[in-house]
Every structure is written in structure tokens, then in C-alpha cells.
Amino acid sequence: MQAVKIRPVVSVIILTWNSERYIEKCVNSIYNSVGDERDSIEIIVVDNGSSDSTSKILERLKSNNVNFKYILLDKNFGTTFPRNLAIKRSKGDFILVLDSDTEIRGRSIDTLLETLNDKDYANVGIVGPRLLYTDGLVQYSCKKLPNITVKIFKFIGNKYLRNIAEEWELYDSRIYSLDFHEIIEVDYCISACWLVRRKALDEVGLFDGKIFYSPEDIDLCVRMWLKGWKVVYNPNAIVIHYTQRLSRRNFRIALSLAKGLFYYFRKYGYWFKREKLYKKFKNYSGK
């Protein structure tokens, strides 16, 4: 008798680029998180033309795991095209967008899934977890919309200017405390880890292909808000983030980041006053 194939509930989308140090730990943490419910997920990895042993690791992972697929690209296509490619091939009602340099802790996938399945959060399109650095410190992964001044101050790198920029873009410090456990609405969460409702994504659209590397996450969160879908932060789900900081190591990516930011500000018609965009958001509390 032929086994019945179970449609996955969650499609995990991961990008790799010279990720030999991280990808196996990342994938294993996903399987550990879901335990005996592996049939409830599928994993699709898209490799951006890695020159290290990433492809060999992916082949080994495929041979050892069900519902695991990978796509090898011949060069680095950034973040939006590969993610969109994988999303189009995915089947789950929910999409877990995940960076390769992350590790899921405990049953955090279930925690995120429970959020989107809760009737009180029926209008939430994206939920992001608490991200922790490897030393246990909380990463500032949920923020207010940026403006051009914030980005310039952070780019300059002066400690005083960076502190000002963080004051403008961060929420109250208690939100980034390990003692904070409330689910709150936020302007955006960084896409190192998101759980996205497919229904919302179908309405809003995929990642903007005109953005190569960043800020594709801010852009998609903005489009969620513009369509009436909320973005929330759930610190009860925990993910370790190794943060490869590719933009600091690769001039091409740093340049594409600058281009992406210019495109973003021009697209939404604001440079300094984000309140101009807030007025267009639906169901937005403005906290």
C-alpha cells in the first residue's frame, strides 16, 4: 500500500552563500524543533553560488531527510530572487523565512505557528521571534521604520551618532530585555527569521525583486501594513543568530545595500519623516 503524502504546514525557506559553518546546524535545529512532526514541514534551501563545501553538505542533508530540497544557483542573486524562487515552489500555508546562520531553540516554530493560528492574531501577516547573539544578548531585531538620517549616522560609524540613530529607531529598552514576554506590534522585524502567513503574502506579493540584498525585509513589512496585515514580535520564540554581517565583508553587497535604501525611500516617498508613511498604514496602533 502506497504511503499517503502529507501536505506540509510550514515551508522553511533558507538561503546559503558560503555557509558551510552554519547550514547543517541550522537544518538540524529545525528538525529538533519539530521533533516527530517532520512531515509537517518542508525545507527548501537556495544556494547563491557558494564556492565552499555548502553544496556537498546540502546533498548529504537531502539524502538523510525527507521533504528536504535544495536549488543551486550559479552566482549570488542576493536575497529577493532566491527567496521568491523557493516560495513559488513551496506548499505550506505558512512560510518560515530563515537565514542560514541561525539556530532554532526549543519548540519555537510551534510558538510562532500558535501565534498566527490564534484568532486574536488573525490579521497578523508576519511574526518574528526573539533573536539572541551567541553570547546570550538580545539582538535589536524589531525596530521602527528607518529614515535617511538614521542610516547615514549608522554608516558613519561614530559611536555618538550611532547611539542617536539607535535612539530614533529602537523601541523602549524593556522590549529588548530577556524578561520581556509580551507579543507586540512593531513596524518591522528583520528577516533572519520570520513566520509568514501565505494568505497575507498572496495578497501583498513576494519580495520586491528590484532590491538585491536589503532592505527587502522592511519593504515587505511596509507592504503588509499598507494592506492591513500586522507585523508582530513574539519574544517567547527564541532563535540564535550568528550574524555573518555580509555587508561589512563584501563591497558589492555594501553597495547594493546603499542602492536598496535609496530605492526604498524613493519608493515610499519619504526620507526624513516616517510619520508620512504611518498615515497610510491600516490597523496601525502607532505604539
pLDDT for 4? 46
Q: Which value, to the nearest 10 degrees, does the dihedral of the CA atoms of residues 178, 183, 184, 188 take?
A: 80
The pLDDT tens digits of the residues spanning 62-74 come to 999 989 999 999 9
Q: Where do we find the cell 524543533? A: 33
The H helix count followed by the E strand count for the chain is 11, 11
Residue ranges per structural domain of the chain: 10-278
Residue 93 one-letter amino acid: D
pLDDT above 90 covers a percentage of the chain that reads: 74
The pLDDT tens digits of the residues spanning 24-54 come to 999 999 999 998 888 899 999 999 999 999 9
Tell me yes or no: is domain 10-278 CATH 3.40.50.620. no
